[in-house]
Amino acid sequence: MFNIEKLVRQNIRQMKPYSSARDEFKGTATVFIDANENNIGSLAGNNYNRYPDPHQKKLKSRLAKIKGVEPEQIFLGNGSDEAIDLLLRLVCRPGQDALLQLPPTYGMYEVSANLNEVRIDTVQLTADFQIPVEEVLRQLKPETKIVFICSPNNPTGNSINPESIEAILDAFDGLVVVDEAYIDFAHNPSWTTRLQEFPNLVVMQTLSKAWGMAGLRLGMAFASAEIITYLDKIKPPYNINEATQELALAALEKSEELKFMVEEIVQERELLTHALPRLKSVLKVYPSDANFLLVKVTDANGLYNYLLGNGIVVRNRSSLKGCEGCLRISVGTLEENQQLLQSIEEFR
Ligand SMILES: Cc1ncc(COP(=O)(O)O)c(C=O)c1O
């Protein structure tokens, strides 16, 4: 049976979180000399001399409406990379506990685990990049506290079968994190719609991809209010800066434009999916629900360097087990994609 109190590290359950100046003051006032700010002003303008809202209330309230969850079910991080790190630290004791990941997948689960001295157990995805569920269930040990599932998966681009994720959610007493950084480019519904069913489910999303705000660093984790309360307890107090909070809030009003941008990217992705296999150095384009394509080519290193020579940077994933001979290519603008196709055509 899943029990968040049992799962969270004892030191975190027992510790007192940092209490900020604005946490300790409730009510109205006109003179704020409680936080050692610069009350004369800010060289950056715009009230940036003040610390930002540590609870990001306005942003969470807006996001709750857009995502169909309660504000209490939202954690905001300095990118979803911060959420990955905090989730890991919440439940994994250094030198004792483990995470399970499913490569080829996003690299930060492993980096965070190594940083925190957490053991990394791995189960390789199948040849069609799906989860071998029986194998995963066999690999879950008493020390396994968290399973990271990336869907749509980076760098393969495919969505993971929901039945496989559900089987792991049902069988596992630890946290199951579904990283949906690319969900806005996919057809399948988000796992946020199933948070009520699974107390051990954490869904991560980000404004870095479809929303086009990678530079602002705003990642989201959705889970039960109990899990979110613990994440808030251990986050750096002011992890989302004021400029990000303001700019993200303004951008969230433009969901109509988001739709058009996503449609354009998906359309370009489909054009590339059809055009690339016609080139002689391309062996296979894997189906993608994301804003990038995994492409198997005849000579990955050669083509990678050739493209670099033409001023085009793609990601060489050919040394990753399961992605041998593959480049990962983000969908660019129409012009950039034409330039890419032209360059590959002229290779050798
Ligand atoms: C699967 C996946 N998760 C998370 C991230 C990180 O997102 P953020 O920019 O919110 O830290 C990325 C970025 O490439 C990603 O591919």
All domains in the chain, ordered by first residue = 4-253 (3.40.640.10), 256-345 (3.90.1150.10)
In sequence order, what are the residues at sequence separation of 6 or more whose Cβ sits closer than 8 angstroms to the Cβ of residue 10?
none
- Position 59 confidence tier, pLDDT thresholds 50, 70, 90: very high
Burial of 328 (0-12, 13-18, 19+ CB in 10 A): buried
Task: Verify whether ligand 1 is closer than 6 Å to residue 148 (CB atom).
Answer: no
Q: Is the pLDDT at 266 greater than 90, yes or no?
A: yes
- Kindly report, residue by residue over 71-116, the tens digit of the pLDDT: 999 999 999 999 999 999 999 999 999 999 999 999 999 999 999 9
Instruction: Please choose from 102, 106, 183, 330 the residue to mutate so as to test ligand 1's pocket, defined by most ligand atoms within 8 A of CB.
Output: 106
Sheet holding 282-285, edge to edge: 282-285, 292-297, 326-330, 315-316
Q: Is the pLDDT at 26 greater than 90, yes or no?
A: no
**pTM exceeds cut of 0.95:** yes
Task: Work out the angle at residue 229's Cα, subtended by the Cα atoms of residues 228 and 232, and round it to the nearest 5 degrees.
Answer: 85
State how far the alpha carbon of 98 is from the alpha carbons of 40, 61, 94, 130, 189, in Å: 49, 34, 9, 22, 29
Residue 148 near residue 100 (C-beta atoms within 8 A)? yes
Instruction: Please choose from 125, 156, 208 the residue to mutate so as to test ligand 1's pocket, defined by most ligand atoms within 8 A of CB.
Output: 208
Closest CA to 327 of 348, 344, 311, 342: 344
Helix/strand number for the chain, H first, E second: 13, 11
- Kindly report, residue by residue over 145-183, the tens digit of the pLDDT: 999 999 999 999 999 999 999 999 999 999 999 999 999
